[in-house]
Amino acid sequence: MIGLVILAALLQQQGPRSLDIDPSKVQPPVVVAAGTVIPVTLTSRINTKNAKDGDGVYGKTTFPITINNKIVIPEGSFVRGKVTEVRRPGRVKGKAELTLNFQTLVLPSGITVPIYTSLGGVGGAGERKGEATVQGDSSKGEDAKTVGTTASQGALIGVIADRGRGAAVGGGVGAAAGAAAVLLTRGKDLVLEPGTTIEIVLDRPVEP
């Protein structure tokens, strides 16, 4: 009993222990600055022919992001987003467009980080329009080829049918048929295949 009293008295004299922390050893949080460009390879296929608002978009980072020689976003990190707008090409004019919004970064460790991004470059699949839209190619060259081919075929038929005198008429009819075909056919859809490389740009700082 006397031993317990002495032990309690000693503990009261010592009081609570303080934790001595060396400020020089405290690491500040790692921040990836706004404006950082992150190259991404798509792992999902997107086609304006059947895509719709809200569809998921998935990719992987293709290059590590480092700060002070330390990798903070490893290569192979997953990025997730969604399609926020789809515009199919018109029958006479207009190009196909896809607006993409990447919202989540998943590190190999499993840590999930919300991100706010816009688009940078689009590798060979179209061109960037505005902050988040990929615009497809025009079909004007193909339309002109369709009209020209149909006109040539019509002229040839006219030559055969009327010994040359129907060439002009046949060509005119063929051109009209080609133009009608162009008017009834949509332009070229935009397709982003798996493996397409795009760049996403951080709009806000991120702490991985």
Three-class SS of the chain = CHHHHHHHHHHHHHCCCCCCCCHHHCCCCCCECCCCEEEEEECCCEECCCCCCCCEEEEEECCCEEECCEEEECCCCEEEEEEEEEECCCCCCCCCEEEEEEEEEECCCCCEEECCEEEEEECCCCEEECCCEEECCCCHHHHHHHHHHHHHHHHHHHHHHHCCCCHHHHHHHHHHHHHHHHHHCCCCCCEECCCCEEEEEECCCECC
For the stretch 151-186, pLDDT in tens is: 455 444 455 555 555 555 554 554 454 444 444 556
Beta bridge partners of 40: 61, 198
Mean model confidence pLDDT for the chain: 78
Determine the topology of domain 31-138+187-202 in CATH. Lipocalin (2.40.128)
Q: What are the structural domain ranges in the chain?
A: 31-138+187-202, 140-184
Q: Give dist(CA 119, CA 87) in Å, integer.
A: 17
How far from the centroid of its chain's Cα atoms is residue 181's Cα? 33
Model confidence at 122, pLDDT cuts 50, 70, 90, reads confident
pLDDT given at position 97? 95
**Amino acid identity of 177?**
A
Mean of the pLDDT values across residues 47-70? 95
Q: Return the minimum-mean-pLDDT range out of 26-35, 127-136, 186-195.
A: 26-35
* Residue 75 burial (CB count, 10 A): 13
Residue 81 has pLDDT above 70, yes or no: yes
pLDDT given at position 99? 96
